[in-house]
Amino acid sequence: MKPGQFVSRKDFRNAMLFISPWIIGTLVFKLYPILASFYYSLTEYTVINPPKFVGLKNYVELMKDDVFHKSLKNTLYMASIGTFITTVFAITYAILLSDKRLRGLSVLRALAFIPTLVPAVVIGILWIWVLQADNGVINTLLGYIGIEGPGWIADPAWAKPSFILIMLWTCGGAIIIYIAGLQEIPESLYESAEIDGAGKLRQTFSITLPLLSPVILYNVVTLLINVFQWFAEPLIMTNGGPDNETLFYSLNLYRHAFQYFKMGYASAMAWILLIISMAVIIVLFALNKRFGHNESY
């Protein structure tokens, strides 16, 4: 008998008992809400009166809702440009933090990680002051080198880039995961590349990035899910302003659900979010399968 190969009816019963919390939790806290959300999205529901079936009216109205379009665009901006910049930075920084010729790396890693520990509410409160136009840290430092800084979150053109700065400040989790991923890449690959005369840049694109692709996929998916859910910082720092430039998808959804009490309309938004996030993730996995390096190394 091979170890660990007791396959029996009793085993199945035991397994179901062990995972029963997850089964119940998934049915009640995931599956039911997803289905109920779809039902509510077909109704007009103000909480006070029972839901009234209206068919696809909410979806039709969403298509015509300029504020909805704006919020979707804002979130897609962060999901594309914000995620791209953050990913490039996190990988580059992880490569720097993996250079074995340097000393003190563990301290520098820890310091890159600690911003991720700051509660979202505190990030919001703090960054209002960091980004303050006339007496904030960033503009003061820019002033020292003769640059007049923008109005950041007060300026419609700079509001979303301000939030990208926060994404960069809090990307330490991704950096740590990239470092761990880099450590899995065998040193011998770089040595043979060196002998074949491949330069550092070539090595990065031909060895590091392909072998890192499963880790990149994981981090990008995590980042995207966070972008789709981004709520506390925009609510606190800008409450969607100026000119709805930072009215992100989840903030808009929250407003419709819990400030305007349009539960049906907000549920339609939730379903669209579900479809978008699933689509994005399926595309990413497909891309990874097509171009990424998945064999174990």
Partner 1 sequence: MSMSSEAAKRGQTPQRIGLGRLKTRAEIVVEYTLLIFFTVCFLIPFFWLVSESLKSPSELFEVPMLWWPRVPQWENFALMFTSFPFLKYLKNTLILVAFVILGSIISNSLVAYGFARLHWKYRDQVFLLVLVTMVLPFQVTMIPLFLLFREFGWVNTFLPLIVPHFFGNAFFIFLLRQFLLGIPFELSDAAKIDGANEFQIFLRIITPLTKPVLATIAIFAFLNTWNDFIGPLIYLSDHSKYTLALGAQQIMDDLDPKWNILMALGASMTVPVIFLFFIMQRYFIQGIAMSGIKA
Q: Which of residues 72-91 bind partner 1 (CB under 8 A)?
A: none
Q: What is the CA radius of gyration of the chain?
A: 24
The CB-of-156 to partner 1 minimum distance in angstroms stands at: 22
Asked if 54 interacts with partner 1 (CB under 8 A), we say: no
Residue 52 dihedral angles phi and psi, to the nearest 5°:
-115, 125
Please, which residues bridge with residue 53 across strands? Answer: 43
State the Cα–Cα distance between residues 77 and 91, nearest whole angstrom.
Answer: 20
Asked if 50 interacts with partner 1 (CB under 8 A), we say: no
> 36 or 81: whose CB is closer to partner 1?
36
> 137 or 157: whose CB is closer to partner 1?
137
Asked if 207 interacts with partner 1 (CB under 8 A), we say: no
Of the ranges 62-70, 76-84, 156-164, 167-175, which one interacts with partner 1 (CB under 8 A)?
167-175
> Footprint of partner 1 on residues 146-165 (CB under 8 A)?
none
Of the ranges 55-63, 93-101, 147-155, 289-297, which one interacts with partner 1 (CB under 8 A)?
93-101
**What DSSP letter does each residue of 58-113 carry, written as one string?**
HHHHHHH-HHHHHHHHHHHHIIIIIHHHHHHHHHHHHHHTT-TT-S-HHHHHHHHH
> Footprint of partner 1 on residues 109-128 (CB under 8 A)?
109-115, 117-122, 124-127
- Nearest CA to 247 out of 262, 235, 265, 256 is that of 235
Q: If 0-12 CB within 10 Å is exposed, 13-18 middle and 19+ buried, where does residue 266 land?
A: buried
> 110 or 147: whose CB is closer to partner 1?
110
What 3-state DSSP class applies to 135?
A: coil
Strands (E), 112-255: none
> 76 or 274: whose CB is closer to partner 1?
274
Asked if 218 interacts with partner 1 (CB under 8 A), we say: yes
Question: Is 212 within 8 Å of 91 (Cβ atoms)?
Answer: yes
Of the ranges 52-60, 62-70, 103-111, 147-155, which one interacts with partner 1 (CB under 8 A)?
103-111
State the Cα–Cα distance between residues 203 and 186, nearest whole angstrom.
Answer: 13
Considering only 149, 181, 234, 240, the residue that binds partner 1 (CB under 8 A) is 181
Question: Is 94 within 8 Å of 219 (Cβ atoms)?
Answer: no
Asked if 184 interacts with partner 1 (CB under 8 A), we say: yes
CA distances in angstroms from 50 to 46, 140, 153, 246, listed in the order given: 8, 55, 40, 33
> 62 or 112: whose CB is closer to partner 1?
112
State the Cα–Cα distance between residues 113 and 170, nearest whole angstrom.
Answer: 8
> Footprint of partner 1 on residues 224-283 (CB under 8 A)?
225, 228-229, 231-232, 235-236, 249-250, 253-254, 257-258, 263, 266-267, 270-271, 273-274, 277, 281
Size of the site for partner 1 (CB under 8 A): 103
Asked if 59 interacts with partner 1 (CB under 8 A), we say: no
Considering only 129, 205, 260, 297, the residue that binds partner 1 (CB under 8 A) is 129
Asked if 173 interacts with partner 1 (CB under 8 A), we say: yes
> Footprint of partner 1 on residues 10-39 (CB under 8 A)?
11-12, 14-22, 24-26, 28-30, 32-34, 36-37
